[in-house]
Amino acid sequence: MTYLAHIAGDGRKQTAAEHLNGTAERCALFAAPFGAEELGRLAGLSHDLGKYSMEFGVWGSLWPPLRRRGTMAASRTEALREIPRMPEPFWDG
């Protein structure tokens, strides 16, 4: 069985395996400068494992909003930008 991760507006399909492997490589590149390349790769591989389910596949075909690329509200995006400005105890374990 092929599990889908994304369906583009033009109908192109990306499998969950393609998505997870691509994300794993991006995460590994991001994490490499601070010595966590393998942890980044594992995070990328596991971030969407729920897409390997019959339920997700059924919902993705029946409920069109799951087909759209996710968006993030401006307020959430701005909050994420604030993280580096927070005092270290808030984000350093």
Task: Give the sign of the dihedral formed by CA 43, CA 48, CA 50, CA 52.
Answer: negative
- Domain ranges (residues) in the chain: 4-67
The partner residues of 15 in beta bridges, in order of sequence, read: 4
Distance CA 60, CA 68 (A): 10
Please give the pLDDT value at position 93.
Answer: 47
Q: What is the pLDDT of residues 1-55, one digit of tens each?
A: 777 777 778 888 888 888 889 999 999 999 999 999 999 999 998 887 766 665 5
Distance CA 48, CA 5 (A): 8
Number of CB atoms found within 10 A of residue 1's CB: 5
Please give the pLDDT value at position 15.
Answer: 83
pLDDT higher than 50, residue 63: no
Of 57, 55, 65, nearest in space to 3 by CA: 57
Please give the pLDDT value at position 35.
Answer: 93
